[in-house]
Amino acid sequence: LRTAAVIPAAGRGVRLGPGAPKALRALNGTPMLIHAVRAMAASRAVSLVVVVAPADGAAEVRALLDEYEHAMPERTEVVVVPGGETRQQSVKLGLDALPEDVSVVLVHDAARPLVPVDTVDAVVEAVRDGAPAVVPALPLADTVKQVEPRTDGQPEPVVATPERALLRAVQTPQGFDRAILVRAHETVPASGEGATDCAGMVERLGEPVVVVPGHEEAFKVTRPLDLVLAEAVLARRRA
Ligand code: C5P
């Protein structure tokens, strides 16, 4: 069962502040995307990585990956395709680039550059064992409230407090039986902002999604503080 990883990396990263597209920003001198590709390539199961670049930046991303080729395991092929308007569209464009013999697909955010290989392997193994869709996830530290969103600056009313013990924060890589993920992308409309996670699309097909333990270091680099944390994790790994 050949396994490939699709890395959507076409986001602007506006919440991180002004600057280059998020995936191209450096963590301890190395672009986040390179860390993310290496995190996927670190798994012996992964023989192909498809990077979905900003639509106007595919050549730049290709050049960057070539520059870091020496830092990748030889068994891993890395392909670059241009991305779309939303994460969902970018993932679809990545799936379209997969060769026929790939039957297991990981979808991994470029914005989660530090996911440990054991987490990647656990996801792959669960799919190879027969689960159609697998997500790594962690229990929540914070209590979560559902609100009635307001745009007029007034305080937002709380609508509900879901029971925290039943909630999980999901990470990537999310793993899929390829045929099911392709069907989800053909069935679920890409309207509005699109889906924020692929497993949610599979749920809408009525197919089961299961959880495996996630890892603290698989956190998503979203806001400026996350950059500080990511660089501290890297420094600790090198120590
Ligand atoms: O915006 P968010 O943090 O949810 O983005 C998650 C991942 O999806 C990031 O790696 C980002 O680069 C990617 N993305 C994309 N195409 C878009 C928007 C986001 O590939 N149009």
* SS3 state of residue 50: strand
> Which sequence spans correspond to the domains of the chain?
2-137+170-238
Residue pair 184/133 in contact (Cβ under 8 Å)? The answer is no
Q: Residue 111: CB within 6 Å of ligand 1?
A: yes
ipTM of the complex as predicted = 0.94
* SS3 state of residue 128: helix
The DSSP symbol for 28 reads: T
Q: Residue 84: CB within 6 Å of ligand 1?
A: yes
Q: Residue 86: CB within 6 Å of ligand 1?
A: yes
Alpha helices in the chain (DSSP H): 32-41, 58-67, 87-96, 117-128, 178-187, 198-204, 224-238
Locate the ligand 1 atom nearest the alpha carbon of residue 91 and give its number. Answer: 20
Give me the CATH code for the 2-137+170-238 domain, please: 3.90.550.10
What is the β-pairing status of strands 133-139 and 168-170? antiparallel
Residue 32 alpha carbon to ligand 1 centre in Å:
13
pTM of the predicted structure, to 2 decimals: 0.95
Distance CA 82, CA 12 (A): 14
Give the mean model confidence (pLDDT) for residues 32-56.
97
pLDDT digits (tens, 9 = 90+) for 46-82: 999 999 999 999 999 999 999 999 989 889 999 999 9
Q: Which band of pLDDT confidence, cut at 50, 70 and 90, is reported for residue 192?
A: low
